[in-house]
Amino acid sequence: MGNPMKIRAASKDGVTDVKVLMSHEMETGFRKDASGATIPAWFIAEITAKLNDKVVMQSQWGPSVSKNPFLAFKIKGGQKGDKVVISWVDNKGDTRTDEATVT
């Protein structure tokens, strides 16, 4: 769902720097709409990152993470041509996976 994540992964000096920009509303559940009804919480809850087939990072978020979340982390190792795969699941059970090649 939503737009594809923008993933940039660059390998240098034995470290692969990964930056991800995701597309998601990240509703806190505190906002009210025009009619006064509370907009339900809707946010990315779990994120998993893989380098090729190996899980390298897992993260859990609450609705305090900003809308259209940004995430950056550093993998030990990795090299040009490797694949970085990012997946997320939100609190409604919706999920998205995108991948990028390490440059």
Partner 1 sequence: MQYGTLNRRALLIRSTATAIAAAIGSMVPTRFAFAAWNKAAFEAKTMADAYKGLGAAQAAESGDIQILASDIAENGAVVPLQAVSKIPGTTQISFLVEKNPNMLAALFDIGPDLLPDVTTRIKMGQTSNIIVLVKAGDKYFTATKEIKVTLGGCGG
Whichever of 32 and 34 has its CB closer to partner 1, that residue is 32
Q: What is the 3-state secondary structure (H, E, C) of 82-96?
A: CEEEEEEEECCCCEE
User: Would you count residue 58 as binding partner 1 (CB under 8 A)?
Assistant: yes
User: Would you count residue 93 as binding partner 1 (CB under 8 A)?
Assistant: yes
**What is the rounded distance in angstroms from the CA atom of residue 22 to the CA atom of residue 99?**
12
Q: Are the beta carbons of 86 and 98 closer than 8 angstroms?
A: yes
User: Would you count residue 60 as binding partner 1 (CB under 8 A)?
Assistant: yes
User: Would you count residue 11 as binding partner 1 (CB under 8 A)?
Assistant: no
Q: Are the beta carbons of 103 and 9 closer than 8 angstroms?
A: yes
User: Would you count residue 86 as binding partner 1 (CB under 8 A)?
Assistant: no
Binding mask 23-42 for partner 1 (x = CB under 8 A): ---x-x-xxx----------
Beta carbon of residue 82, minimum distance to partner 1 (angstroms, whole number): 12
Beta carbon of residue 103, minimum distance to partner 1 (angstroms, whole number): 19
**What is the rounded distance in angstroms from the CA atom of residue 103 to the CA atom of residue 92?**
34
